[in-house]
Amino acid sequence: MAAPSQEYLKTKVMTASPEMLTLMLWDGAIRFAEQGKEGIVKKDIEGSYKSLVRAQRIMTELTANLKHDVNPDLCGKLAALYNFIYRRLVDANLVKNPQLVDDALEIMRHQRETWALLMEKLAKERAGEARATVVANADAVSEAEATEAGLAGVVKTMSAALPGRRGYPAFAVRPAAVRETISVQG
């Protein structure tokens, strides 16, 4: 049976969006590169080797998942950058030079931060789209209710009186069926 932390990680990966998976790959690559550098400094040859190879594999995965058909120019530039990072990690592993790992880490951290900013921007855009959909749906429901209650003319009048807001506001007109159920006494 897998450890609880492994189950948590498996669930996190299986439920993550593609954008989040990429961010997780960057986090892993940075973590393994840092462990590899630490192994070099401590003269732990085997530990540094294993960690740097894991970081290299992640870089290979990031390169393989570029979508050249979507934006060939950008993907070509990113592939060259990822290849540079990969080569630095390989060279660091061969000659056991922590400075080479630092070169790779500097770019990796920058790429990770850029990816996080893009995810934040995408989340804001999606939230704006969702908000617009909710408003449009609310307006459509309000118009349908008004038409059903025979108040289509009131809706047009209210729409003209409130520019920028389609439909009628819920507080402006209540259909007769609702008015009858409201009591001042409670």
Q: d(Cα 160, Cα 140) in Å, to the nearest integer?
A: 16
- Asked if 86 and 46 touch (Cβ cutoff 8 Å), the reply is no
Give me the tens of pLDDT residue by residue for the chain, a chain 186 residues long.
567 777 766 676 677 788 889 999 999 999 999 999 999 999 999 999 999 999 999 999 999 999 999 999 999 999 999 999 999 999 999 999 999 999 999 999 999 999 999 999 988 887 877 777 777 776 666 555 656 655 555 555 555 555 554 444 444 444 444 444 444 444
Q: d(Cα 56, Cα 54) in Å, to the nearest integer?
A: 5
Would you list the domain boundaries of the chain? 14-128, 132-181
- Asked if 167 and 137 touch (Cβ cutoff 8 Å), the reply is no
What homologous superfamily is domain 14-128 in, according to CATH? Answer: Flagellar protein FliS (1.20.120.340)
